[in-house]
Structures are given as C-alpha cells and as structure tokens.
Amino acid sequence: MRRILAHSWLGRVYKADKWLFVLLSLFFFFTLFANFIRLQATPFFIWAMYSQKLPEKTDYSYLEVHYNGNKLLNIQHSWNEPAKNYLYLPLGYYIEIKDSNYVDPFRNYLESHWLKKHPAFTGIAPYLYPDRRTIDKFPGWYKRYLSLQVNEPVNNILVLKRHVQFHPDGASQVIATDSLLYIP
C-alpha cells in the first residue's frame, strides 16, 4: 500500500512540496466531510438541485433566430456548445430584461436575498449586473457576434418564440408563434 501511495500523484506532491500536500489533503477531507453532512460548501454540490421531479408540461417554447431576411439560424449539434449558448442565452436574457422594463431578475435576487445574507458585498453589487446603457448596446453586439458565427455580414435579425406541443406518438405541432424582437 505504501508503495502505491509513493508512486501516486499525491505521493509525488508530498515529495515535492509538503505544505501543498497538507493544503490539498485538508481540502480533500473538508470536501468529503461537507458532502457527508450535506453542507452546500461549494457550487458543485447543491443538494437540493435535483430534489424533485420536473413537472410534466403539455407545451414547450423555444427561440428561433432568422437573419438577413429569410435565413434560419440552425446550429448543428456538435461539441461546440458554448457557441450555441452565447447565441441563445444572452438573447433570452436580453428579451426578458426588455420585457420587464429594464428590471434585471438577477439584480432583484441580489438585492432582495443574497445581499441581505452577505452585506459586505454591497459595494460591488452594482458591477455584477448590467446597467441600461450596457443593455442598449446588446443588439449591436449580437449582430456582430452572429456575423462571426455564420461567416457572413448580418443585416437584420428577427427573433420568434415558437410554442410547440408534443403528442403521445412523439410528433410535434407548432401551436403559436410570437415575434419577440427585430434588430434592423
């Protein structure tokens, strides 16, 4: 057993730097202890995250992006998920902020819950969410970013919200389409 430990990565750390070994060991044991007592000590283990079943829904919605008049943004499944996330997540966030008259839901959460528990961070809170000037710059940024992703100049963008329903046989049906945003 001692021979196995001596040739392991942790054994090599012990030989190279005993203080680093102690720090890593303490971190390892604290993490195990925190998990054992179900303490939410890190952002990786939030015990309530998967605590209940998602409710069944009859219809779903998604954003559909059209650019240059008639071209549909269709990102094929690949291992490059960040590109897809950068195209859809900020867009949904922007639309949500615009629909709520520039009220950022993250700001509401910070001010009503988090800062009450952590008042020492009140000074940096305004830097953690965008102001109105930054939000108004989003359409220009999105147009430039979309141009880079589709490898052509983008003249205009139309964002639709499609509402679909799935039937028991697996077929889907569009039940409504809303026009959410037009960027000239």
* Residue 55: pLDDT over 90: no
Query: Which residue(s) pair with 177 in the sheet?
Result: 162
Final residue in a domain of this structure, among 37, 52, 67: 52
pLDDT of res. 138: 94
* Residue 41: pLDDT over 90: no
pLDDT of res. 56: 80
Candidates 133, 1, 72, 41; CA nearest to 141 is: 133
13 sits in which H/E element: helix 9-16
Q: Where are the beta strands (DSSP E) in the chain?
A: 59-67, 71-72, 157-166, 172-183
73 Cβ contact list (under 8 Å, min separation 6): 64, 65, 66, 67, 87, 146, 150
Number of domains, the chain: 2
Give the span between the Cα atoms of 176 and 179, in whole angstroms.
10
pLDDT of res. 163: 94
Residue 178 is given by DSSP the state E
What's the pTM value of the predicted model, to 2 decimals?
0.66
Local confidence band at 71 (pLDDT 50, 70, 90 cut-offs): very high
Claim to verify: residue 124 and residue 150 sit in the same structural domain: yes
Claim to verify: residue 85 and residue 171 sit in the same structural domain: yes
Q: In what order do the strands lie in the sheet with 71-72?
A: 71-72, 59-67, 157-166, 172-183
Of residues 35 and 57, the one with the higher pLDDT is 57
Q: Can you count the helices (H) and strands (E) in the chain?
A: 8, 4
Claim to verify: residue 74 and residue 164 sit in the same structural domain: yes
Claim to verify: residue 63 and residue 141 sit in the same structural domain: yes
Of residues 80 and 159, the one with the higher pLDDT is 159
Q: How far is CA 35 from CA 31, 46, 52, in A?
A: 6, 10, 19
Instruction: For residue 37, give its domain range.
Output: 1-52
Claim to verify: residue 93 and residue 35 sit in the same structural domain: no
Claim to verify: residue 173 and residue 119 sit in the same structural domain: yes
Claim to verify: residue 17 and residue 103 sit in the same structural domain: no
Decide: 157 and 149 in contact? Cβ < 8 Å: no
Decide: 90 and 149 in contact? Cβ < 8 Å: no
Claim to verify: residue 41 and residue 65 sit in the same structural domain: no
Claim to verify: residue 131 and residue 41 sit in the same structural domain: no
Claim to verify: residue 17 and residue 45 sit in the same structural domain: yes
